[in-house]
Amino acid sequence: MILDLDIGNTLSKWRLKDADSSEIRSRGAVWTREEWRPGADIPDLDVVEAVRISSVARAAVLDETVGLLRRRVRHVHVARSTAEALGVVNGYAEPGRLGVDRWLGALAGYQLAGGCCAVDCGSAITIDFVLPGGQHLGGFIVPGLRLMKESLKLGTRNVAIDPESEADELLEPGRRTVDAVNHGIYMAAVSAINRIYSEVCDQEGVALPMLLTGGDARVISRGVQVPHAVWPDMVYGGLEARFPLTLAERAGKMAGAPRVPDPVSLEKIRAGLAFSMLL
């Protein structure tokens, strides 16, 4: 079995992948600040022959996790942001400073779709752009839904947006604090994504396919007008592309990859942008 780990600021996600069949056997998540102890919530390391890790948590969390794993597992691969990989050129002046989850998302998106806009809706919402030739432009970082809500300190932090809510309901003015906050932050997130996408496509003269991932991807997806696909395993896809282990991975296949969405025309994007400036 291969153990893939995606350690974010909020949740540490894991999945077990069969090295022979390339099938995903199980998955789970634990809070990042918690210690990784054998128990019901984490996979049995005895069956694991290789681990691949993406981590943006504090260095100490990664060091501890890697230390624990190296004692039990033969191959431990830790992803790093580099100046170039798999045809993508990192847009950061200091490439190593780009969050590795963003880098892996950009690599997966490029491998799947060529140029892309990769949006990761987690503790932060990150919006990264890769041009069709592989140049990563850099990106945008906005606080995620949960962080925005907590920063208001209005006592509404424990009432999350119902992930089943329809976008239409969330776009109405709230008539009590919790709704005013939830609808406000939802509007902030989706309008930032819509606007940033249009601005950058306009600047670069290219309509890019958009891919969404992260814990809030599904609910945010409903408010994003740009054609896009949700790919919950996008960061894992970057790990597969960067450290291919199975036959399918060596052939360039990433588990759970969606159909590439057809972007609308650049003319339409520009018309939308011009319209929003007039208002």
Ligand X SMILES: Nc1ncnc2c1ncn2[C@@H]1O[C@H](COP(=O)(O)OP(=O)(O)O)[C@@H](O)[C@H]1O
Which of 21, 84, 132, 141 lies at the binding interface for ligand PAZ (CB under 6 A)? 141
Q: Which residues are within 8 A (CB) of 51 and not within 5 positions of it... i.e. 6 or more apart?
A: 2, 3, 4, 5, 69, 73, 75, 76, 77
Task: Return the amino acid letter for 139.
Answer: G
| C-alpha dihedral sign at 217, 220, 222, 227 | negative
- How far apart CA 178 and CA 162 sit, in angstroms, is 12
- Catalytically annotated residue among 18, 20, 101, 262: 101
| Residue 145 contact, options ligand PAZ, ligand X, K ion, none, Cβ 5-8 Å cut-off depending on partner type | ligand X
Verify binding: residue 105, ligand PAZ, rule CB under 6 A: no
Verify binding: residue 97, ligand PAZ, rule CB under 6 A: yes
- How far apart CA 7 and CA 5 sit, in angstroms, is 6
Q: Is the Cβ–Cβ distance between 11 and 24 less than 8 Å?
A: no
Active site residue 262: no
- Dihedral of CA atoms 67, 2, 16, 243 in degrees, nearest 10, equals 90
Closer Cβ to ligand X, 10 or 194, answer by number: 10
Q: How far is the CB of 272 from ligand X (least distance, A)?
A: 28
Annotated binding residue 262 = no
Which of 99, 223, 238, 263 lies at the binding interface for ligand PAZ (CB under 6 A)? 99
Q: Is the Cβ–Cβ distance between 32 and 12 less than 8 Å?
A: yes
Q: Sheet containing 75-78: give its strands across.
A: 24-31, 11-17, 2-7, 50-55, 75-78
What binding mask, one character per residue, do residues 213-232 give for ligand X by CB under 6 A, x or -? -xxx----------------
Verify binding: residue 139, K ion, rule CB under 5 A: no
Verify binding: residue 10, ligand X, rule CB under 6 A: yes
Q: Compute how many other C-beta atoms are within 10 angstroms of the C-beta atom of residue 35.
A: 10
Verify binding: residue 128, K ion, rule CB under 5 A: no
Verify binding: residue 56, ligand PAZ, rule CB under 6 A: yes
| C-alpha dihedral sign at 89, 220, 150, 173 | positive
Annotated binding residue 120 = yes
Closer Cβ to ligand PAZ, 120 or 249, answer by number: 120
| Residue 215 contact, options K ion, ligand X, ligand PAZ, none, Cβ 5-8 Å cut-off depending on partner type | ligand X
- How far apart CA 38 and CA 131 sit, in angstroms, is 43
| Residue 190 contact, options K ion, ligand PAZ, ligand X, none, Cβ 5-8 Å cut-off depending on partner type | none
Which of 11, 171, 248, 264 lies at the binding interface for ligand X (CB under 6 A)? 11
Q: Which residues are within 8 A (CB) of 14 and not within 5 positions of it... i.e. 6 or more apart?
A: 3, 4, 5, 6, 27, 28, 29, 42, 43
Q: Compute how many other C-beta atoms are within 10 angstroms of the C-beta atom of residue 24.
A: 16
Verify binding: residue 122, K ion, rule CB under 5 A: yes
Verify binding: residue 6, K ion, rule CB under 5 A: no
Annotated binding residue 177 = yes
| Residue 216 contact, options ligand X, K ion, ligand PAZ, none, Cβ 5-8 Å cut-off depending on partner type | ligand X
Binding site residues, K ion, CB under 5 A: 120, 122, 124, 126
Binding site residues, ligand X, CB under 6 A: 8-11, 122-123, 144-146, 214-216
Catalytic residues: 101
Binding residues: 6-13, 92, 99-102, 120, 123, 177
